[in-house]
Structure 1
């Protein structure tokens, strides 16, 4: 393995081949980059190309070359062009923080203690950057998996794996919060550093924003999986109809004739297009203006079109096991809570409104919801609909939970 002797050598080597390295980085996802193309970019200077191979900036594999992984990672890190979700790095940084704080508490020389504090501050900043980057990559990967993956089974597997990574990120956020607030209290009591306090305040604020983003990612994953579930069921029904038609049993094993007799709607009505998220930069451009105006015009004249009913099949044909959890509508739950409190106040103006947490603990959801899940819903509602509530200074106690009493505005 080649070892560079100085930063000056690294900079000169990269600068001398900047055209080739730029081209190779932009085409890094292409499986092959020809040796002859690399040579042409260096103006047929084969000695320079061999020097890059000798210094392991690029690697040769027969008639092809590729960028070294170290330089690839370095460029992707600085340009934030890597879509990988890496939670192991955060875990390693948290473990490293425990080690540094332990060294600080055992150290007696002031200069060495200051050195440990400096490394601790740098590590906290790394955790903040890595967490934010992971969440951005998570949201991008979720959207790409749903919109661009053509195979249903792979699409479902990708979304389920991304949900596991979402859980890992949330656990690491909780671990970082616990380290700051509980595990290393002795260190924070001794290390009175203004810059460290500022870094910790910024870190906790970014972790809270990250937790809110993870709630959004969870909702997107559930919604996407439910949409895929609906599409899979529809495809299975179509296949069943096609099979019966091919076997000339469609009229005998379905009520197709009855449906056709009473159905007089237009055969080709089209389907509602899927809603995709557009970037803010595109929406602000002149190119998007005609599309936005067209959408606004269509919204003004939208009519609700009743969907055609599919033919009825037997219970055995239609029986299917639920694959994924149903989505609990947070907006509907909030609306029911506010309506219930408003009606109670109309009946008795002196009545004390019920706080949100108590309401959720007794709310009759359409599906079985545990106390832990109801507590999670409470946190999600407060985070997403904060403007609709008044957070009082009172606290309530429910079993092992202590919660703030929250009422509608």
Structure 2
């Protein structure tokens, strides 16, 4: 197998055959791309296709051409259209971060330490991006599986598999936050790198957004599985009825006659209007028809004709751009402020200053959100208290 000599040759080959590669990538799932289709896109020069085959950009299988898996995965990752959720990639980055942190702490040479630090920053950036992309793929795959999979057993199995991947992403998020907040405090104190601090802040925001989306995806998967369960029971009953009907046992072993006799679905049918249109000859020639027309015209001669009123022109003030500021609730800031106190979480949130008016019910919701997002940082007691008819558990900082 030949390989490209350098990046310049690779980029030149991809650029020269961009028309063919773009067409094969766009139709990678719809059709089998034939050699006869590809030859037209390279100006009928088979040597150009042979060059791509020799360099493993495309693979030839009989008369069918396919993009090589390596390039296909590269294009899908860059264009963010990959449907496979690879949790091992995130897990591998977490392991590499832990290893390089140990190398950093043990190293005395500043240049070598900077190399380890640069790798750690790169890995943290990757974790944030890959986790976001995995959550987006998870939501898309969940919808596609429920809507497009026709086999109910396979649909259920696929949704359960996606739910396991959701749990895996949630655990990886928890491991990442544990490294940042608890396990490697010494490293962050020694690193003192401004870019690393910015990367960690962005990472926490990305992982927080992923956690919120995972909660919604969990609800969605549960709802889909419940629908499948209901449909499955219906199909099971339908198959049983069909079996009885095919074997001429349905009347003997069921009460279908009694049930059908009690039903009268005709009243639920929509009424069909059947207008009776008079012929023009009848209206012109018949005297009685003419008398009826005159009588009808007399009854409507006083009818007022209303003119359509034009609406006033839109005021300029409605066309001006306006900016509306909204104060968002920062759960990370609430958690950090709470950990610095000795108060219980419910009482703390009840008295917390949100810089806007927050009602009691909304503060209860915020209390639940903080527990679900930062359960690993909180100590949930078995003691309970009641405020405004709301019973809540005592939650303290660890």
TM-score (norm 1): 0.66
Q: How many angstroms apart in 2 are the aligned matches of 1:390 and 1:165?
A: 27
| Count of residue correspondences | 292
| Residues 308-319 of structure 1 aligned to structure 2 (within 5 Å) | none
- Partner residue in 2 for 1:2: 2
What are the ranges of 5 or more consecutive residues in structure 2 without an aligned counterpart?
Answer: 271-345, 348-360, 371-377, 384-392
| Residues 158-197 of structure 1 aligned to structure 2 (within 5 Å) | 158-197=158-197
Report the CA distance between 1:112 and its aligned residue: 2.0
Q: Evaluate the alpha carbon distance shift between residue 36 and residue 173 of structure 1 in structure 2; reply closer, same or farther with a 3 A threshold.
A: same
1:255-303: CA deviation from partner (whole Å, max 9, x where unpaired): 3344334433448779xxxxxxxxxxxxxxxxxxxxxxxxxxxxxxxxx
Q: Evaluate the alpha carbon distance shift between residue 40 and residue 397 of structure 1 in structure 2; reply closer, same or farther with a 3 A threshold.
A: closer
- Partner residue in 1 for 2:17: 17
- Partner residue in 2 for 1:223: 223
2:176 is paired with a residue of what secondary structure?
Answer: helix
| Residues 346-357 of structure 1 aligned to structure 2 (within 5 Å) | none
Report the CA distance between 1:228 and its aligned residue: 0.9
Q: Evaluate the alpha carbon distance shift between residue 262 and residue 29 of structure 1 in structure 2; reply closer, same or farther with a 3 A threshold.
A: closer
| Residues 117-196 of structure 1 aligned to structure 2 (within 5 Å) | 117-196=117-196
Q: How many angstroms apart in 1 are the aligned matches of 2:379 and 2:61?
A: 67
| Residues 68-147 of structure 1 aligned to structure 2 (within 5 Å) | 68-147=68-147
1:66 is paired with a residue of what secondary structure?
Answer: strand
- Partner residue in 2 for 1:52: 52
Q: How many angstroms apart in 2 are the aligned matches of 1:62 and 1:152?
A: 36
1:96-135: CA deviation from partner (whole Å, max 9, x where unpaired): 1011111110111222222221211111010011001111
1:11-64: CA deviation from partner (whole Å, max 9, x where unpaired): 111111111111111122246321222221101112222222222221222222
Q: How many angstroms apart in 1 are the aligned matches of 2:19 and 2:164?
A: 40
Q: How many angstroms apart in 1 are the aligned matches of 2:112 and 2:228?
A: 57
Q: Evaluate the alpha carbon distance shift between residue 387 and residue 17 of structure 1 in structure 2; reply closer, same or farther with a 3 A threshold.
A: farther
Report the CA distance between 1:387 and its aligned residue: 6.8
Q: Which moved more, 1:24-33 or 1:225-234?
A: 24-33
1:85 is paired with a residue of what secondary structure?
Answer: coil
What are the ranges of 5 or more consecutive residues in structure 1 without an aligned counterpart?
Answer: 271-354, 357-384
Report the CA distance between 1:386 and its aligned residue: 5.3
- Partner residue in 2 for 1:318: none
Q: How many angstroms apart in 1 are the aligned matches of 2:168 and 2:84?
A: 14
User: 4+ residue stretches of structure 1 with deviation over 6 A?
Assistant: 267-270
Q: How many angstroms apart in 1 are the aligned matches of 2:72 and 2:104?
A: 35
Q: Evaluate the alpha carbon distance shift between residue 119 and residue 248 of structure 1 in structure 2; reply closer, same or farther with a 3 A threshold.
A: same
1:149-183: CA deviation from partner (whole Å, max 9, x where unpaired): 11111111111111111111111111111111122
2:60 is paired with a residue of what secondary structure?
Answer: strand
Q: Which moved more, 1:47-56 or 1:119-128?
A: 47-56
Report the CA distance between 1:202 and its aligned residue: 1.2
- Partner residue in 2 for 1:299: none
Report the CA distance between 1:191 and its aligned residue: 0.8
- Partner residue in 1 for 2:381: 398
- Partner residue in 1 for 2:358: none
Q: How many angstroms apart in 2 are the aligned matches of 1:100 and 1:188?
A: 13
Q: Evaluate the alpha carbon distance shift between residue 156 and residue 398 of structure 1 in structure 2; reply closer, same or farther with a 3 A threshold.
A: same
Q: CA RMSD in A?
A: 2.8
Q: How many angstroms apart in 1 are the aligned matches of 2:40 and 2:111?
A: 54
Q: Evaluate the alpha carbon distance shift between residue 106 and residue 19 of structure 1 in structure 2; reply closer, same or farther with a 3 A threshold.
A: same
1:187-227: CA deviation from partner (whole Å, max 9, x where unpaired): 11111111111111111121111111111111111111111
Q: Evaluate the alpha carbon distance shift between residue 16 and residue 159 of structure 1 in structure 2; reply closer, same or farther with a 3 A threshold.
A: same
TM-score (norm 2): 0.67
Cα pair 1:391 1:404 within 8 Å, conserved: no
Q: How many angstroms apart in 1 are the aligned matches of 2:188 and 2:18?
A: 46
- Partner residue in 2 for 1:308: none
Cα pair 1:135 1:213 within 8 Å, conserved: yes
Q: Which has the higher contact order (CA 8 A, sep 6+)?
A: 1
2:121 is paired with a residue of what secondary structure?
Answer: helix
Report the CA distance between 1:138 and its aligned residue: 0.6
Report the CA distance between 1:254 and its aligned residue: 3.0
